Amino acid sequence: MPLAKSAHTSKRVAPTSAPLAPLDVLQRYTIPEAADYLRCSRAWVYILLERGELRTIRDGRRVYVPGSEIARRSQAPGSTTKETLANF
């Protein structure tokens, strides 16, 4: 007998209007968390990583973005998504 499919999907939903916790520069964040703080998509964070514009920390197979990198990137000139996309 086949298993019934779950109603829950694994798709990422848009962040809610609830405010994010204050950014801690000494903390490390997952890629989706970094995307939320940078107000961009997860795919865009991976593009920034490929370009070398965002550094990461690897812990085994897990990849984290340091809070200091998120703070640096969010304060950089041209850091808004629309301006950065225009240069892509």
Tell me the average confidence (pLDDT) per consecutive run of 10 residues in the chain, 88 residues long.
Answer: 55 60 85 93 95 93 94 72 50
Q: Is 1 contained in some domain? A: no
Distance separating alpha carbons of residues 5 and 24, to the nearest angstrom: 39
User: Total domain count for the chain?
Assistant: 1
Structural domain of residue 47, as residue ranges? 28-86
Q: Is 2 contained in some domain? A: no
* Amino acid 82: pLDDT: 46
Q: Is 22 contained in some domain? A: no
* Amino acid 25: pLDDT: 80
* Amino acid 75: pLDDT: 80
Q: Is 46 contained in some domain? A: yes
Q: Is 57 contained in some domain? A: yes
Q: Is 4 contained in some domain? A: no
